[in-house]
Structure 1
């Protein structure tokens, strides 16, 4: 009785074809991801829900957001007529703070502030200020400008630096905030720049 011949063992794939398959998969995945991905930052459920809740509460309380641009570091602008800046009670105030679903992390203190006495409607109201961080693991992420009637509150919010070991170089920083005045009717406005310490307060006029 004859013994059946054994089938030869299959040869393993060449590393060349394995590498080619990996490259094709990576390229294809990247192309599909880029084509179908929505522009903007990734969806963050907790943060986005808080933002929506905060916006709804602010609108219900009569506040509206104004466009504002933040630049850092900043150079002090040359103003011929600068507003007189005073100091007021610390924080956002109980009423405004209650509108935030999650309380913003504010600068520890506000130092020098330079702002114009008047701005033509539609022009940028350039505000220069210095501030102190509460923690070197944080950085100034953005500034919200909230308006109700003739009152405008600027809310500089801190955010964590990416990574666990990154630290800001200095606790103090110089910042520039550009407030868009297109939505402001001509008239006089009271401004508060919020911080954990005493806020900075001044007035300015929007001219026609």
Structure 2
């Protein structure tokens, strides 16, 4: 029986220096990594700015929740908050109220509907409202809403406020996914005054027409602007 021939080495035709070369040592690479980490850490500690780090997502949310924000259709969203001042409104405006079955669909402009993140769930029924008859841009406007006792102190009740070219829309809304999440008994009880306030910076019209929408009702009144020139109106880039 013949013995198979041994295969020849694959590096037979390589130069002697390459056949006998040792692998690169790892210590220079490790040293370079250590030096890089040290230099990077020194630069970070020596030159970084004081204060919290920039967070892009949080910055976006802050912009979204800005006190006054203008959208592409020139509507201003005015962020309303609860006011600690529960005193009656001096010299309130004369408010007219009437039943309006499809108030949300038929009264709110289409552009404003598109601006809203979703269809609001309006506070149901008649809600008495007290409003000043005048305003001054730059001064916060305070209103008093008389809500059912069960939801008067419920943080899910908010006031959506939108302004454009003399029209102010106010929508007392329930911040819930669906109306059924609010028990009917909470919508009963004696009317309890709750004050809200919001900024008036962009209100530049001489007279402001206010539309106050609740589920199935529409209330309207007018306010005189005491100093339209004090309004701060955000200009579009094309107008500059």
TM-score normalised by length of structure 1: 0.57
Alpha carbons of structure 1 residues 100 and 184: separation in structure 2 relative to 1, 3 Å: closer
Deviation beyond 6 Å, 4+ runs, structure 1: 165-169
RMSD of aligned alpha carbons:
4.1
1:107 touches 1:132 (CA, 8 Å); kept in 2?
no
- Aligned positions, number: 155
- Aligned pair 1:105/2:124, yes or no? no
Q: Structure 2: where are the runs of 5+ without partners?
A: 1-51, 228-240
Alpha-carbon distance in structure 1 between the residues aligned to 2:172 and 2:218? 11
Report Cα offsets for 1:174-200 as digits up to 9, x if no partner: 321213122222611011122112122
Q: Which residue of 2 aligns with 1:144?
A: 160
Output the CA distance in 1 between the equivalents of 2:117 and 2:214: 18
Summarize deviations over 1:20-78 as a string: whole Å, max 9, x none.
xxxxxxxxxxxxxxx99x7x99x9xxxx8xx89xxx9x834431212422248x73514
Tell me what 1:75 maps to. Answer: 86
Consecutive unaligned residues in structure 1, runs of 5 or more:
1-34
**Residue in structure 2 matched with residue 178 of structure 1 by the alignment:** 197
1:6 alignment counterpart: none
Q: Does 1:131 align with 2:147?
A: yes
Instruction: Give yes or no for the alignment of 1:206 onto 2:225.
Output: yes
Q: Does 1:64 align with 2:76?
A: yes
Structure 2 distance, partners of 1:166, 1:145, is: 22
1:86 and 2:106 correspond: no
- Of the two, which has the highest radius of gyration? 2
Mark the CA change 1:168 to 1:111 in structure 2 (over 3 Å): closer, same or farther. same
